[in-house]
Amino acid sequence: MSNLTALMVHGVKHSGATTISGKRRPERHSDGGGLHLQVTPEGGKSWLLRYTLKGRAREMGLGSYDRDGIEGLTLAQARDAAKQARGQVKRGIDPIEHRTTAAREAEEAARTANANTFGTVAEAMLAEREGEWSNAKHRQQWRNTLATYAYPKIGGLPVANIGTSEVEGVLRPIWRTKPETAGRVRMRILAVLRYARAHGLRPPPAASAADIAEELAVRLVKLGKMKLQAGYGHHPALDWREVGAFMATLRLKAGMSARALEFLTLTAARTAEALGARWREIDMAGRLWVVPAGRMKARREHRVPLSDAALAVLARVAPLATSPDDFVFPGAKRGSGLSQMALLMLVRGMCEPEEPGAAPRWRDTKTGEAITVHGMRSTFRDWAAEATNHAREVAEAALAHVLGNDAEAAYQRGDLLVKRAALMADWAEHLAPAAEPASLAAARARRVATSRG
C-alpha cells in the first residue's frame, strides 16, 4: 500500500531532529514495498529501494526527486523504477549488479561507437575491397570523394549515429551544383553504411541504407533533373548515322591508336577493357575475346563475339606479338599497353574543326561537343535501338551491362552469345557500308599495301 502522495513528497522537509551525538541524519519516508523518499538536512531529496536477495538486505539508489521528472524522478516514476527492480529480485537478479553491468556495457558500446567512426569504417571497407575495383584510378576516386565531401562533415561521427539528416547535410551543398559528384558521394556513403550494418556496427534502431536512400529521395530534388540542368549525364557521342563515315576516316589513319579505337568501336568495349587486352584472352579460331572478371567493371567475365572486321584488326597487329602475355595493342614502352591518353589525343585530333572557330569535325548533334571515345558505346546503343530489331537485353549484354531488374537478371542466366554474335556482325556491317566512296576505298587499299610492304 502506498503511503505518499505527490503533494506530500513535494512539501516534505527535514524535521531538524538530531541524534544523541547532535548530528542531523537523512530522514526517510516510506511509500511501501521498500520504496523510500530520503530527505537530507540540506533539503535534498532522493529515492531509495530496500530489498532482500538470498538473505542479504540491500539498498539501491533510484535517483533524485524532481516534481517535473526532468532531472530526476517523480513519485510515479520512482514507483515504476521500484516495480521493475522488485521484478528482477523475484527472478533472482540483483538490480544493483544488473545496473552496474548495463552501465559497463553501455560504456563499452560508447567506446566502440566512438572508435568506429564513419571515417574509420570507410577506410576499413576500402582496404578490404580494393581488389574489387578494376584499376587504381577508380580506387583513388572512392577515397578522394569521401575525403573531400563526407569526412569533413561526418567522418568523425560514430557510424551508428549517422542518419538521413547527416547524409543530407553532406549532399545538399553539392546536389544542384555538382549533381554527378553528388550521386557518387551518395552511393559511396550508403555503401559504407551497408558495410557497417553487415559487420554489426549499425544495429537497429539505426536506419538501414535502403531506408536512408528512400528518405533522401523525398527530401532532395531528383538527381536526374539536376544532371540535365547542369549538362551532366552523358558522354558526347556521334550520331549512329555518321559513324560509318567516321570509321572510314579512322581506317585511313596508320598507327596503333587508330587500330585500338577501331577494335574498341567494333566490339563496343570500354576503353580500359580494350587497351588492357592480352593475346591470351583472344581465341581467333573460336572468334571470341574473353575479358576476365578482374578487368571488368562489374567484376564478371565477359565474352565478346568477334566479327570479321574485328578479327581483321587483330590479324593486322598479331605479328607484333611474341607471347600470349603481350598486350594486343602495345604502347611505345616495351611491355606496356597503349595508354588511354593515346586514344584521347587521336579522337581530339580527328575532331579538330576544319577552320578556326568552327564546330568540331565529329560532334554530338545534341550538344555540339566534340565526341569522346566512351561515347562510341552510346552510338552503338542508339543504333541497336533505333536501326535494328535486336532485343534490348542483347544490346545490353553486348555492353556488359547488368540487367536493371533483379527478377529479369535472375531468369536471364546466359550471356546470349549467339544472339550477340549476330548483333556485332550487323554492327560491323553498319560501320563499313557497302556504298563506301571509291576515293576512300582506294586510299585504304594503298594504306594496306604500304603497311604490308
Given a cut of 90, whether residue 354 has pLDDT beyond it is no
Residue 442 has pLDDT above 70, yes or no: no
Range with the lowest mean pLDDT among 188-197, 225-234, 326-335? 225-234
pLDDT given for residue 69 in this prediction: 85
Domain membership of residue 236 (yes or no) is no
CATH at residue 143: 1.10.150.130
Q: Which residues contact 399 (CB under 8 A, 6 or more apart)?
A: 268, 377, 380, 381
CATH at 34: 3.30.160.390
Residues 70 and 130 in one domain: no
Question: Given a cut of 90, is residue 381 above it in pLDDT?
Answer: yes
User: Which of 79-93, 104-118, 384-398 has the lowest average pLDDT?
Assistant: 104-118
Same domain, 167 and 221: yes
Note whether 156 and 28 are same-domain residues: no
Average pLDDT over the chain, rounded to whole?
86
Residue ending a domain, choose from 80, 112, 144: 112
Residues 147 and 271 in one domain: no
- Among 59-68, 241-250, 298-307, 395-404, which is the least confidently predicted range? 395-404
> Pairing state of beta strands 288-291 and 35-39?
unpaired
pLDDT computed for residue 107 by the predictor: 72
Domain end: 200, 230, 260, which one? 230
- Within this chain, do residues 206 and 276 fall inside the same structural domain, yes or no? no
Q: Which domain holds residue 39?
A: 6-112
pLDDT more than 90, % of the chain: 61
Domain count across the chain: 3
Is residue 20 predicted with pLDDT exceeding 80?
A: no
Q: Are residues 220 and 252 in the same domain?
A: no
Q: Do 412 and 271 share a structural domain?
A: yes
Residue 448 in this model has a pLDDT that exceeds 50: no
Give the per-residue pLDDT at 128: 87
* List of residues 6+ apart from 235 with CB closer than 8 A: 372, 374, 375, 377, 378
237, part of any domain: no
Q: Is pLDDT of 439 > 70? A: no
Summarize pLDDT for 102-150 with one digit per residue, the tens. 878 777 766 665 678 999 999 999 988 876 665 666 778 888 999 999 9
- 238 within domain boundaries: no
Highest-pLDDT range among 24-33, 176-185, 408-417: 24-33
CATH of the domain at 321: 1.10.443
Nearest to 330 by CA among 288, 375, 280, 275: 275
Query: For 25-40, b where at least 16 C-beta lie within 10 A, e where not — what string?
Result: eebeeebebbbbbbbe
Is 143 contained in some domain?
A: yes
Q: Residue 298: pLDDT band by 50, 70, 90 thresholds?
A: confident
Higher pLDDT, 18 or 372: 372
> Does 442 fall in a domain?
yes
Is residue 272 domain-shared with residue 213, that is, in the same domain?
A: no
Q: Kindly state whether residues 78 and 201 are assigned to the same domain.
A: no
Return the HEC string of the chain: CCCCCHHHHHHCCCCCCCCCCCCCCCEEEEEECCEEEEECCCCCEEEEEEEEECCEEEEEEEEEECCCCCCCECHHHHHHHHHHHHHHHHCCCCHHHHHHHHHHHHHHHHHHHHHCEHHHHHHHHHHHHHHHCCCHHHHHHHHHHHHHHHHHHHCCCEHHHCCHHHHHHHHHHHHCCCHHHHHHHHHHHHHHHHHHHHCCCCCCCCCCHHHHHHHHHHHCCCHHHHHHHHCCCCCCCCCCCCHHHHHHHHHCCCCHHHHHHHHHHHHCCCHHHHHCCEHHHEECCCCEEEECHHHCCCCCCEEEECCHHHHHHHHHHHHHCCCCCCECCECCCCCCECCHHHHHHHHHHHHCCCCCCCCCCCECCCCCCECCCCHHHHHHHHHHHHHCCCCHHHHHHHCCCCCCCHHHHHHCCCCCHHHHHHHHHHHHHHHCCCCCCHHHHHHHHHHHHHHHC
User: Does 404 share its domain with 255?
Assistant: yes
Domain-ending residue, one of 84, 112, 140: 112
- Taking residues 201-214, what's their average pLDDT? 90
Better-scored residue on pLDDT, 443 or 433: 433
User: Would you say residue 95 lies in a domain?
Assistant: yes
Whether residue 230 is predicted with pLDDT greater than 60 in this model: the reply is no
In terms of domains, do 18 and 108 share one?
A: yes
Helix orientation angle between 95-115 and 75-90, rounded to the nearest 10 degrees: 100
User: What pLDDT does 275 receive?
Assistant: 94
- Predicted pLDDT of residue 447: 46
Domain match, 181 and 298 both? no
434 pLDDT more than 50: no
Residue 354 placed within a domain:
yes
Look at residue 235 and tell me if it is in a domain.
Answer: no
Check residue 137 and give its pLDDT. Answer: 67
Whole-number pLDDT of residue 35: 94
